Amino acid sequence: MSRIHFLAGLLALGLAVGCKAQPASQAPDPALNRRIEVMVRSQFNVPQDFDVALGPRQPSQLPGYDTLPVTLSQGAHHTVVDFLISTDGKTLARLEKFDLAHDPLFSIGVAGRPIRGNPAAKVTVINFDDLECPYCARMHQTLFPATLDHYKDTVRFIYKDDPLVEIHPWAMHAAVDANCLGAQSGEVYWTFVDYIHSHGQQINGEERDIAKSFAALDRIARQEATLGELDGARLDACLAKQDETQVRASMKEAESLKVEGTPALFIDGERIDGALPQEQVWMVIDRALRAAGVEPPPTLPAAPAPAAPAKPSGTGK
């Protein structure tokens, strides 16, 4: 859908809802406002470079609801769309209701998952990842090390499993091996993930023999475990068992979130589908940090291209 059609569609919906009636006197709640912004962006696929601003509540003719004007803007262009919000702040409505209190966007399970970055950071980047997916490898390279180095201890990163088993034959095995390592060491989990995302073709092999790919994954896992001084016997038992239960649960959660491909990032609930350029990823992280009361680090301008060497003087032919 083009951006013009997107905004026109939202504007048309906005004209269908305008009403007036009860007084609205609720003070702004920054945490609630952030949830509303994330919900609007997610449900209506608002492009990352659009700003979303919430206006003051107004009376509506629907008992128990106020009118909430939402302004979507890009540069000098903007449109205002009216939503309905319940007076208790728990429901946002726009011909359909969005549950701000219990939507799975805000309750993705991360207990026990390896964390990269500051575990106490206010902003969390969750990535539903497929270790055989080339686009996931590209996103991984965007996040590490550049994004981690840029945000330092203000952001934490957590990966969830979503192997696309229909098209990636060794992705499930890779996810299980990664979790076997993660059960003993988060640090070793990340070194394994780093290696797999940068050596996918090596694991495929020239023959694309799935048994050889499985063997390569197990060999790499054991090598990382040795370097990390993990319990080798415990790892071997886990690799041999190849228990997919944890991975399947993560895949089911991805399905509940309507994830249809990888990578799929959720930055404090705000969603990014696909391997977007670094500047767009950072735009979303900056927005989440400001909502959490943290000023994002400044983005340094790109270094100028080196000047072309001067042509030698003389009368060359």
pTM recorded for the entire structure: 0.72
Q: Which of 59, 77, 102 is the last residue of a domain?
A: 102
71 and 205 both lie in a single domain: no
201 and 52 both lie in a single domain: no
Span 79-99, mean pLDDT? Answer: 84
164: pLDDT confidence band, cut at 50, 70 and 90? very high
141 and 81 both lie in a single domain: no
140 and 231 both lie in a single domain: yes
Per-residue pLDDT tens over the stretch 126-157: 999 999 999 999 999 999 999 999 999 999 99
Q: Does 107 fall in a domain?
A: no
Per-residue pLDDT tens over the stretch 170-193: 999 999 999 999 999 999 999 999
Span 27-46, mean pLDDT? Answer: 88
Element housing 161 (H / E): strand 155-161
171 and 37 both lie in a single domain: no
236 and 163 both lie in a single domain: yes
pLDDT averaged over the chain? 87
Q: DSSP class of residue 143?
A: I
249 is in which domain, residue-wise?
Answer: 115-291
Domain count, the chain: 2
Q: Does 311 fall in a domain?
A: no
State phi, psi for 215 to the nearest 5 degrees: -65, -40
Residue 299 has pLDDT above 90, yes or no: no
Span 217-241, mean pLDDT? Answer: 98
Where residue 137 sits, what CATH number does that domain have? Answer: 3.40.30.10
215 and 269 both lie in a single domain: yes
Span 243-261, mean pLDDT? Answer: 95
Residue 263 has pLDDT above 80, yes or no: yes
Q: Does 27 fall in a domain?
A: yes
Helix (H, G, I), strand (E, B) or coil at 49: coil
Cβ neighbours for 290, distance < 8 A, ≥ 6 positions apart: 296
127 and 272 both lie in a single domain: yes
